[in-house]
Structure 1
Amino acid sequence: MIFIILQFLVIISKINNVLLATNSLCSFFSTGTSEVFYTLYTKNTNRKISIDDNSLDNANFAKSDYVIIYIHGFGGSYDDIGSLAIRNGYINGTDDHNLILVDYSEVTGKIAKLNVISLAIRYAKSVYCDLPKVSKKIVDFIVKFLYNHLNIKHVHVIGVSLGAHIAGKIGSLYKKTTGNYLDRVTALDPAGPWFKNGPQINPECAKVVDVIHSNIGYYGYSKPIGTVDIYMNNGVTQPSCISNLTEVKRFTEQSKINVKFCSHGSSVLYYVASIDNKLTAKPCDEIGKLVSNDKNIFEMDDDNNNAISKTCSSLKYSNEREIVIGKHMSPSTVGVYYAEVPDLHRYVGKLFNELTFARRNKY
């Protein structure tokens, strides 16, 4: 179903002028934020928490001074595949992390049985009406739990697709509210439809704003918008989605999933793979110019290469100029980079089986 949703969004984005009367749209559809939920995970904790003082005081945070907040995309939830991947990646790692999964699915509403017109309106509502209010709600939560837990000094917000823009908006609102920057905002293939001229992600969202691009021109935003932007392989179609699509369909239990949607969701798995592995990238400033021409994005040869992968792979740099991306990225990293990761599955390893078990047992 999510594939059908996003496939439609790619088409409907071309007629977004029809729905740009956002004031009318937002006045017609109310946005209630009481149903934004938070679940805390540590190695010893799995519990829902709220902005209430008693809830935060008794939350049993890990001793770490770092908290990671993950925000799902449109049509997702705190227990969808991406959220489970992030959760397992952090919780099964060596360190004990404070991980908070946000669930705003009740705000955007149930979308499984919507027709295409209703779906278009619902997505427009999510972008123009829900996004700012959900972002403000999460900022209030962050401010409150930092006040209740003074030992936590660092906040890292991660979002995928629509959730990536929410993460960016959170960073901007947090600075406006407190005068301080979040430590890091990570945008995983931020949504492209309806954000072409107004992305919520920019280098001022946090001290570090890293963006992983995995499906530009389709479901993902094309241009560099962070302090560091990483384009995976050709930036459009991920090789693991071509070679392992049958396995992906089995894993996600979605028979209609296609290569493009798989590539969009791969941004999450690349980040998860980086938690226990050192994924590297090399500088390729040429991407900034290349993505301004659709021909450079969409024209592929028989080896799944476009102008981006051909140009960047041919550049010769010393290993000293390579960077580590994902979880272990240096906060001093800036610029546009190209990462050649031909087989995501060899990094993810047994993750697919673990997540299938987790999804079915909901632990």
Structure 2
Amino acid sequence: MKVLVALSVLAAAVIALPIEERVNGENGWFVPREDGSFEWMDKKDAEELLASSAPIEGRSNEVSFYLYTQQNPTEGQEIKADASSIEDSHFDKNHGTRFVIHGWKGRYTDSMNVDITNAWLSRGDFNVIVVNWDRSQSVDYAMSVRGVPGAGTKVGEMIEYLHEHHGMSLETLKVIGHSLGAHVAGYAGKQVGNQRVHTIVGLDPALPLFSYDTPEKRLSSEDAFYVESIQTNGGVKGFVKPIGKATFYVSGGRKQPGCGVDIAGTCSHARSVLYYAEAVTENNFGTIQCQDYLAALANECGSTFSNVRLAEERNADNVEGHFYVPVNSEAPFGKTE
């Protein structure tokens, strides 16, 4: 019965506001559907739906973790919050740890996880832990959003376990999430608390059904010591306004060169992953500092490159603000002059 009520809210939302009054992310959202189209949902209806306690039908809210290291770069070892599981794995507390979190309809074997895993392992010895939270999702986007807090809490609990029982350093920890996965990363940071997670990188954090004015329900700059947001499809699938301590607007943050028409934003949204993986391996994305995010959106930040690079290791030490990032239309995407 609760599922039927939720579906009726969705149906009512489609006709609630006249088209000319709809502002995505302000008074409602264009919510993605499984077939790639969008449907409008008024803010009030969305809040009522997300507040419902109805479970995700047929879903067990499981979150699993797969460890990749230079000893097992292509075959992940499933690890659990259990002493024997960690001790029998290739986890090494002396190496930095990276958690990687996929988005809606994703899975741990997806190309985004492979690309980011390969990028970090090309840099040296790391524990790359890929989060699989597909069992917390549904083919329905709105229902999947409701799985985000629980998934993020479980990621946070795993971080706490590895830190408290197996010596994992929080000082060298990075949590990287794409789209909905960026908000899962935010909730993980909230679970650990007190900005003890060192770095969270949000790759085009998902906009639909997330509000700028409710940072407690999304990735925010307070969820880690340093939060970096890489925005590539603002206003469609990703955020427009800055939600990190440092926010990087690639090619203005809305649409990416080489993506064609890209009305649904699929290509531009996915580019954030490709840019990040390339930045980790090549450190080749120069940036131009902007006075504010509006200047970054409009590419009105001048032409002088700053000394800040996208996703650079040292950014956490002293980088803050808004940056325009020029890119090429095909790989290699980064520009340094």
Normalised by the length of structure 1, the TM-score is: 0.74
Shift of 1:234: 2.2
Contact 1:270–1:344 under 8 Å retained in 2: no
Pick one of 173, 177, 183 that aligns with 1:165.
183
Pick one of 118, 123, 132 that aligns with 1:94.
123
Shift of 1:290: 5.5
Contact 1:31–1:107 under 8 Å retained in 2: no
Pick one of 308, 323, 327 that aligns with 2:308.
323
Q: Distance in 2 between matches of 1:94 and 1:202?
A: 28
Shift of 1:126: 2.1
Pick one of 122, 131, 149 that aligns with 1:132.
149
| Count of aligned pairs | 294
Partner of 2:326: 340
Q: CA 1:54–1:31 in 2, change beyond 3 Å: closer, same or farther? A: farther
1:263 counterpart = 2:268: yes
Partner of 1:277: 282
Secondary structure in 2 matching 1:152: coil
Shift of 1:144: 0.9
Q: CA 1:54–1:19 in 2, change beyond 3 Å: closer, same or farther? A: same
Partner of 1:308: 298
Deviating beyond 4 angstroms after TM superposition, the runs of 4 or more aligned structure 1 residues are 30-34
Contact 1:189–1:213 under 8 Å retained in 2: yes
Q: Distance in 2 between matches of 1:30 and 1:85?
A: 32
Deviations 1:229-287 (A, max 9, x none): 00001211111323xx9xxxxxxxxxxx8672100000011100001212121111232
Q: Distance in 2 between matches of 1:207 and 1:31?
A: 37
Q: CA 1:28–1:98 in 2, change beyond 3 Å: closer, same or farther? A: closer
Secondary structure in 1 matching 2:225: strand
Q: CA 1:34–1:28 in 2, change beyond 3 Å: closer, same or farther? A: closer
Which residues in structure 2 correspond to 1:57-136 (within 5 Å)? 57-62=87-92, 64-91=94-121, 93-109=122-138, 111=139, 119=140, 123-127=141-145, 129-136=146-153
1:146 counterpart = 2:152: no
Secondary structure in 1 matching 2:53: helix
Amino acid at match of 1:194: L
Partner of 2:54: 27
Q: CA 1:23–1:98 in 2, change beyond 3 Å: closer, same or farther? A: closer
Q: Percent identity?
A: 26
Q: Which has the higher contact order (CA 8 A, sep 6+)?
A: 1
Deviations 1:65-114 (A, max 9, x none): 310001100111111121121122222x13121100000001214x3xxx
RMSD: 2.6
Q: CA 1:202–1:31 in 2, change beyond 3 Å: closer, same or farther? A: farther
Q: CA 1:61–1:28 in 2, change beyond 3 Å: closer, same or farther? A: closer
- Choose between structure 1 and 2: higher helix proportion: 1
Amino acid at match of 1:342: N
Unaligned runs of 5+ in 1: 112-118, 246-256, 292-306, 349-363
Deviations 1:309-357 (A, max 9, x none): 2x13xx154x5x3301114342111111011012341259xxxxxxxxx
1:44 counterpart = 2:71: yes
Q: CA 1:18–1:335 in 2, change beyond 3 Å: closer, same or farther? A: same
Pick one of 190, 202, 219 that aligns with 1:187.
202
Contact 1:135–1:166 under 8 Å retained in 2: yes
Secondary structure in 1 matching 2:78: strand
Q: CA 1:52–1:31 in 2, change beyond 3 Å: closer, same or farther? A: farther
Normalised by the length of structure 2, the TM-score is: 0.79
